[in-house]
Amino acid sequence: MPTLSGRTRILGIVGLLLLGAFLFLSVSLQRGGHMAGPTYIAPGNVGLVLDNYQGRIEPSLMAAGTHWQGLWETVIEVPTAQRSLSLTSADPTGAVQVNTASNMLQVDVSAQYRIDPDKADDLYQAYQDQFADLKQFETVNLEPAIKGAINYAIGDMDTATALTTAGKQKAETDALKTLNDEWGTRGIVFSNLMIRGIEQDQQSKDLLSTTLGKMQEIDNARLALQQQGFDNQTLLQKAAAEAKVNRLQNSTLTDLYVQDQELGQVKKLYLPSDQLMGMLNK
């Protein structure tokens, strides 16, 4: 029968083993698929299992939850929920620089995408460690793709059109189609792209201000010409009315003249002066 010191030694060994097992499990879970033991997949993610012994990717994915990871396995946690990318002047990456035919624009853009879990293995095979570090994958691949799509959508537009709501909506639709045409078959599905703002360089702002001023002057001149046309029409109507009055007056004077001439056709009588005096004395 073991002595008291022997039992204490056994309990100490068992305690150390339990402590070691606890530390192993804790570290294994914390390492997240980079060492043998239990590994945890967060909700909304899947686990891509790499068999390092056979040098292949396991066909089945780990669902969300806790799983046992083999000694020769590496598990890469792949998010399948929607993710967002922001390219604005307030972000470290900065806004999208768009070169147009006449100037340069700074475009603030945000985009949402998700990873198709059925193609996670294809993405890893194509991009290896870049895909394992999703932030690096976004920086190296997706952000340049968004910049290229925006440049393609806005580059051929004139600045005035790009600044309108209709122009932005068309650019959003065209850029989203370009992204899905390029990345949809690879397993990256873009669900939304929004142009949050477009800023011009200072030279373009000055040019646009001058252009708008000239256009306003042209509109003012056009309105002045229209008003002048109305005034001329009024003058013509007034002149026509006066001419009509003059014709009426001339007609009346003509009738009086004719009557006067008719009166002038009465024969004149001449009498001797003594006969005329006699008529007056009577």
The enclosing domain of 102 has a CATH number of: 3.30.479.30
Among 167, 184, 206, give the residue marking a domain's end. 206
**Do 110 and 189 lie in a common domain?**
yes
pLDDT beyond 70 at 177: yes
Q: Do residues 72 and 97 share a domain?
A: no
pLDDT over threshold 70, residue 154 = yes
| Residue at 229 is within a domain | no
- The stretch 45-69 carries a mean pLDDT of 85
Q: How confident is the model at residue 4 (pLDDT cuts 50, 70, 90)?
A: low
Query: Are 45 and 147 in the same domain?
Result: no
User: Angle of helix 165-183 relative to helix 143-154, nearest 10 degrees?
Assistant: 130
Residues with Cβ within 8 Å of residue 40, at least 6 apart in sequence: 29, 32, 65, 66, 67
Highest mean pLDDT among 7-16, 144-153, 234-243: 144-153
Stretch among 68-77, 196-205, 271-280 having the lowest mean pLDDT: 271-280
Residues 104 and 176 reside in one and the same domain: yes
Domain stop point among 54, 79, 104 = 79
Residues 87 and 198 in one domain: yes
Full residue range of the structural domain in which residue 114 is found: 83-206
Q: Which residues of 124-155 are buried (b: 16+ CB within 10 A; e: fewer)?
A: beebeebbbebeebbeebbbebbbebbbebbe
| Domains: count for the chain | 2
CB of 123 closer than 8 Å to CB of 187:
yes
Residue 227 lies in a domain: no
Whether residue 21 is predicted with pLDDT greater than 80 in this model: the reply is no
Among residues of the chain, what percentage have pLDDT more than 90?
Answer: 29
DSSP-derived 3-state class of residue 39: strand
Q: What is the pTM of this model?
A: 0.61
Token pair 């972000």 in the structure block, residue? 91
CA distances from 149 to 159, 181, 247 (A): 17, 11, 76
Mean pLDDT of 232-251: 69
Ramachandran sector of residue 267 (left: φ over 0; alpha: ψ -120 to 50; beta: rest): beta
For 216, the token pair is: 């306003």
Q: Are residues 131 and 177 in the same domain?
A: yes
Q: How many CA atoms lie within 13 A of 115 on its CB side?
A: 23
Cα separation, 27 vs 69, in Å, equals 13
Q: CB 103: neighbour CB atoms within 10 A?
A: 16
Residue 171 scores a pLDDT above 70: yes
pLDDT (mean) for 220-231 = 78
Statement to judge: residues 94 and 198 lie in one domain: yes
Higher pLDDT, 54 or 123: 123
pLDDT attached to residue 260 = 54
Whether residue 13 sits in one domain with residue 120: no
Average pLDDT on 82-103 reads: 86
Check residues 27 and 153 and name the one with the higher pLDDT.
153
Are 150 and 192 part of one and the same domain? yes
Per the domain annotation, does 216 fall within a domain? no
- Calculate mean pLDDT across residues 192-208: 81
111 and 175, same domain (yes or no):
yes
Choose one of 183, 206, 229: the last residue of a domain: 206
Is the domain of 94 the same as that of 175?
yes
